[in-house]
């Protein structure tokens, strides 16, 4: 099985996660793929494969074959779920060989086109093999490309017994896209001293810095009165919610920010005149700015309450994860070795902050230093998502080089 064939197999599984679900995993399709991965690892001949009976996590390890040396155990982690931003059911991948670097017609009938003017970075892929969607679903390269790369690496070391390596730990998680990827992760049982999530973008992308992240659930309580008799009495919860949103700086939305700039992002709304709800995510790389941003949000709610009465707006504010950089700075070898491995795999390493979060951000705070590595994909969470096959293959090579780098005698 080639990396491309393996990837196409995995994207055939519908694994979209669902926010707000009480179950873990939040959708049954994720468990189906996790079960499948467990069976594949066992067929590879890996003897230490186990699955959490309740939560579905798949763990595996390939023991060190250097008993006379102390080599840190290294872990590799990817998530099986796809974003609920767009359906991942019945994905119909299209394979474009020798891509010409121009616009890609995803669906002629529906007039869906990936345009270079909108995604100029895709022109870098000219001459390579690109996998895209048919425009009706996302692709699932986030993070089935990461799953593919780890499985390819596992297959290699399952077959090459004589190549020196330390203990290689592998894990597959669920519900990363809804912020619950490692809610029940067994860090101690995983057994790694250091780990890497394989959940990034283009070849060479390496992230040891993430946002600080919070979730804000807003409830607005109005008072429904017949509009013909509403003077002085009607309180329209929907209108009040819009007023709250208008208090947040327009230039601090995701579409207007980049690099290390933080934002407020409204992701969901529902309601009527009597009661309305909204959910926001709040992000910032800088810890002090993150705290200020949360305080500003609460003050905006307070402003609305001063207009319409205390309790009109309530906010449930919850921290989700924190920037892992301060913790990773204490373990410089984790990033240093990744940079070396990338270079040996033919990549140009680009160490940049990720404008998002990964399972690794939370794992780092759980005591497992865990930066994020590339996969070869891009335009995640939508119909324009793609995977570059050559960059996926480079990712597989990078993982092997990383194992070698940790096993190298210094």
- Is there a single domain that holds both residue 139 and residue 251? no
Calculate mean pLDDT across residues 338-358: 90
Annotated active-site residue 81? The verdict is yes
Overall domain count for the chain: 2
Catalytic residue among 81, 143, 152, 393: 81
Q: Which CATH number does the domain housing residue 395 bear?
A: 3.40.630.10
Catalytic residue among 142, 143, 176, 252: 176
Whole-number pLDDT of residue 233? 87
- Rounded Cα–Cα distance for residues 124 and 134 (Å): 21
Residues spanned by the domain of 120: 3-209+324-407
Last residue of a domain, one of 302, 321, 340: 321
Whole-number pLDDT of residue 353? 84
128 in the Ramachandran plot: left (φ > 0), alpha (ψ -120 to 50) or beta?
beta
Element housing 387 (H / E) = strand 386-388
Q: Which CATH number does the domain housing residue 216 bear?
A: 3.30.70.360
Predicted confidence (pLDDT) at residue 409 exceeds the cutoff of 70: no
For 213, residues 6+ apart whose C-beta sits below 8 A from its C-beta are 179, 281, 282, 283, 319, 320, 321, 322, 357
Predicted confidence (pLDDT) at residue 359 exceeds the cutoff of 60: yes
Calculate mean pLDDT across residues 57-62: 98
Q: In this predicted model, what pLDDT tens digit does every residue of 198-211 receive, in sequence order?
A: 999 999 999 998 89
Q: In this predicted model, what pLDDT tens digit does every residue of 6-49 receive, in sequence order?
A: 999 999 999 999 988 999 999 999 999 999 999 999 999 999 99
| Per-state percent for the chain, helix, strand, coil, to nearest 5 | 35, 25, 45
For 145, residues 6+ apart whose C-beta sits below 8 A from its C-beta are 7, 198, 375, 376, 377, 387, 392, 395
- Is there a single domain that holds both residue 221 and residue 317? yes
% of the chain at pLDDT higher than 70: 100
Calculate mean pLDDT across residues 132-153: 98
Calculate mean pLDDT across residues 174-192: 95
Check residues 119 and 352 and name the one with the higher pLDDT: 119
Annotated active-site residue 176? The verdict is yes
Last residue of a domain, one of 298, 321, 344: 321
Which tokens in the block code for residue 109?
């009938």
Whole-number pLDDT of residue 288? 94
Q: Cβ–Cβ contacts within 10 Å for residue 339, how many?
A: 16
- Is there a single domain that holds both residue 199 and residue 216? no
DSSP code for 117: T
Whole-number pLDDT of residue 322? 87
- Is there a single domain that holds both residue 24 and residue 161? yes
Mapped onto helix, strand or coil, the DSSP state of residue 359 is: helix
Q: Count of residues for the chain?
A: 410
- Residues 74 and 193 sit within 8 Å (Cβ to Cβ): yes
Calculate mean pLDDT across residues 369-398: 97
- Is there a single domain that holds both residue 140 and residue 217? no
Give the pTM.
Answer: 0.87
- Is there a single domain that holds both residue 25 and residue 169? yes
Which tokens in the block code for residue 218?
């807003």
């Amino acid at each position: 099985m080639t990396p491309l064939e393996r990837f196409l197999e995995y994207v055939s599984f519908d694994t979209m996660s669902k926010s707000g679900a009480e179950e873990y995993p939040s959708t049954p399709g994720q468990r189906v793929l996790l079960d499948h991965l467990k069976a594949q690892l066992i067929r590879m001949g890996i003897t230490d494969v186990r699955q959490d009976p309740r939560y579905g996590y798949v763990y595996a390890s390939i023991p060190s074959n250097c008993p006379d040396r102390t080599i840190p155990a290294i872990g590799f982690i990817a998530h099986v779920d796809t974003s609920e931003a767009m359906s991942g059911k019945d994905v119909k991948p299209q394979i474009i060989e020798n891509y010409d670097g121009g616009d890609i017609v995803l669906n002629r009938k529906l007039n869906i086109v990936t345009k270079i003017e909108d995604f100029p970075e895709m022109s870098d892929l000219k001459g390579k093999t690109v996998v895209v969607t048919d425009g009706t679903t996302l692709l699932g390269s986030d993070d089935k490309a990461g799953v593919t790369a780890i499985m390819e690496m596992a297959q290699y070391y399952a077959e090459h017994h004589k190549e020196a390596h330390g203990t290689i730990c592998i894990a597959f998680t669920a519900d990363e896209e809804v912020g619950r990827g490692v809610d029940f992760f067994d860090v101690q049982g995983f057994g790694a001293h250091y780990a890497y999530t394989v959940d990034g973008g283009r070849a060479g992308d390496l992230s040891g810095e993430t946002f600080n992240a919070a979730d804000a659930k807003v409830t607005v309580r109005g008072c429904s009165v017949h509009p013909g008799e509403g003077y002085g009495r009607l309180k329209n919860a929907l209108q009040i919610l819009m007023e709250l949103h208008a208090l947040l700086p327009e230039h601090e939305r995701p579409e207007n920010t980049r690099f290390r700039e933080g934002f407020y992002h409204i992701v969901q709304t529902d309601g009527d005149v009597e009661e309305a709800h909204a959910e926001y995510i709040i992000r910032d790389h800088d810890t002090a700015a993150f705290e200020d941003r949360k305080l500003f949000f609460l003050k905006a709610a307070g402003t609305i309450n001063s207009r319409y009465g205390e309790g009109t707006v309530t906010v449930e504010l919850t921290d989700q994860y924190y920037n892992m950089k301060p913790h990773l700075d204490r373990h410089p070898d984790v990033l240093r070795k990744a940079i070396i491995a990338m270079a040996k795999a033919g990549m140009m390493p680009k160490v940049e902050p990720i404008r998002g979060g990964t399972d690794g951000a939370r794992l780092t705070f759980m005591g497992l230093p865990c930066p994020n590595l590339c996969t070869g994909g891009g335009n995640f969470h939508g119909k324009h998502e793609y995977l570059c096959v050559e960059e996926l293959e480079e990712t597989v090579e990078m993982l092997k080089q990383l194992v070698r780098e940790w096993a190298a005698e210094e």
